A and B are shown apart, each in its own frame.
Chain A
Amino acid sequence: MSGAALRGLSVDPPRKRMTPSRLSMHTPEGNSLRAAAVTAAEPDGETSPELASTQAETPAGEERSAPEKPPSPPPVPGSDADILARAQAGDHYAFAQLYALHKRRIYSLCLRMVGNVAEAEDLTQEAFLQLHRKIATFRGDSAFSTWLHRLAINVVLMHLRKKGLSVISLDEAMEPTPEEGPGRSFGAPDLSLAGSIDRLALERAISDLPAGYRLIFVLHDIEGYEHNEIAAMLDCSIGNSKSQLHKARLKLRDAMRTIPRREGRR
């Protein structure tokens, strides 16, 4: 996907990926800077008690003491900024336009995070209902798409918590079982992925991951969040996030090495 349009109502990913290695999204320095940003984030003046401990309510980038910005010129009629401004003012048609612009991305995010169509539909609906309630609080400190994206993630995380996916279960998911322990990932080099992966097979393998693994893999490797951000969202340690991501990738590797032999690579 193009990394170009990241402002306004862009439906591109929430953050640019600064990738010093192909497996890691950040430098340690960048990590600490992002950590500061995450720590500074706060709900948009309406902290949900359920989320207060996780900072999960706040779309990224809305910071506590952001300096006042100079006044922006009025948006061009019909532009993304204009649609947003009208939706914030209560224009129902503009809100429908926002939905049309962002529905695919938000639904895909929900679907990947929960791996279930019916739940993804419910969560998409809830995300846009929350958006409708909170849109007036968006201050433009971050791209709207980033803010909405984080709002949707919060909705999914709340849902998963209600279903019982806790940090405890995340930690338990990290404990290696005898068949998952170190060394299991070894295989003959001729069984390696050889640098090519079928997208549909990968999507399927991701949806088959255990919930905890899937959550962290989606947040880190697909959505581009850093470990410190994920740890804050999930209320777990950064080490847990790193370990669980690694396990998720190992599981995917196992799945991807099986699927091509069974079904043939496309």
Chain B
Amino acid sequence: MNDQTNKMTCEEFQAQMPELIASGENASAHPHVRECDLCRALLQDLETIAEAARQLFPVEDPPDRLWEQIESAIKQQEPSHG
């Protein structure tokens, strides 16, 4: 990181955040993050949200009647036999 990176403002850093994060680099090692409490807190929050999202799992079952509807629609689609 050069001197220009070190002197980055919060706005400049935030403008780069999407690309920095998506690059897979360790954003918390960025010189601005090391110096700036607010941007560090922001980054940590975004990490917390992304981590929590990864832990979400399917929790909803569809209503039982949905299979009846699907079954009925399948029967309508199928050519009649006999």
Contact = CB atoms under 8 A, between A and B. Distances in A.
A89 interface: no
B8 interface: no
Given A21-B24, A227-B22, A221 B17 contact: no
B49 A107 contact: no
Contact of A23 (B10, B14, B27, B56): B27
B49 A242 contact: no
Interface residues of B, number: 48
A260 B50 CA distance: 18
A99 B67 contact: yes
A120 B49 CA distance: 24
Interface residues of A, number: 61
B60 interface: yes
B42 A186 contact: yes
Interface string B3-45: 0000000110011011101111111000000000111011111
Interface in A90-141: 92, 95-96, 99, 103-105, 107-109, 111, 120-121, 124-125, 128-129, 132-133
Interface string A189-209: 100110111010011001000
Interface of B: 10-11, 14-15, 17-19, 21-27, 37-39, 41-63, 66-67, 69-71, 73-74, 77
Q: Please provide the 10 A-B residue pairs with the shortest distance between their CB atoms, ordered closest to farther.
A: A108-B58, A221-B53, A246-B18, A107-B62, A197-B52, A24-B24, A22-B47, A192-B41, A242-B22, A23-B21
